[in-house]
C-alpha cells in the first residue's frame, strides 16, 4: 500500500505523476482529516497533531471530511477555505473543485 494511503503523506515532488491543485492543511489542534480524489481513492487519512502541517495533491474534485474542523486551517491553491458553512457539530464535509 502506498505511504500516502497509510496516513504518511508524501511531498508532491515524491508522488509519481502527481497532478492537480495543492491543498495545504495547518493544524491548530489535534484533528482527523480524510481526503478522496476524483476517483474516490483515499489520498490522505490521518490524525494530525497540533502545530503540524500537511500538503496534499490530487485530482479534483477532492472530497474532504474534517473532524474537529475548528482546529484546521485549509488553503486550496493558495486561497483560504472557509469550513464554517460545511460544519455539522464538529465535522466538516465538503468537496473542492
Q: Position of cell 485549509?
A: 74
What are the C-alpha distances in Å from 72 to residues 4, 10, 19, 33, 67? Answer: 19, 19, 24, 9, 9
Note the helical H segments in the chain. none
pLDDT tens for residues 35-76? 999 999 999 999 999 999 999 999 999 999 999 999 999 999
Q: What is the mean pLDDT of residues 68-97?
A: 96
Structural domains of the chain sorted by starting position, each given as residue range(s) with its CATH number in brackets:
3-7+19-96 (2.60.40)
| Residue 19: predicted pLDDT | 58
Does the pLDDT at position 9 exceed 80?
no
Amino acid at each position: 500500500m502506498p505511504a500516502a494511503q497509510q496516513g504518511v503523506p508524501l511531498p508532491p515532488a515524491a508522488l509519481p505523476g502527481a497532478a492537480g491543485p495543492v491543498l495545504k492543511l495547518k493544524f491548530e489542534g489535534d484533528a482527523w482529516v480524510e481526503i478522496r480524489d476524483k476517483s474516490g481513492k483515499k489520498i490522505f487519512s490521518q490524525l494530525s497533531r497540533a502545530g503540524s502541517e500537511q500538503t496534499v495533491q490530487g485530482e479534483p474534485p477532492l472530497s474532504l471530511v474534517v473532524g474537529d474542523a475548528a482546529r484546521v486551517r485549509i488553503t486550496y491553491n493558495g486561497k483560504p477555505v472557509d469550513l464554517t458553512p460545511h460544519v455539522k457539530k464538529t465535522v466538516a464535509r465538503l468537496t473542492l473543485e
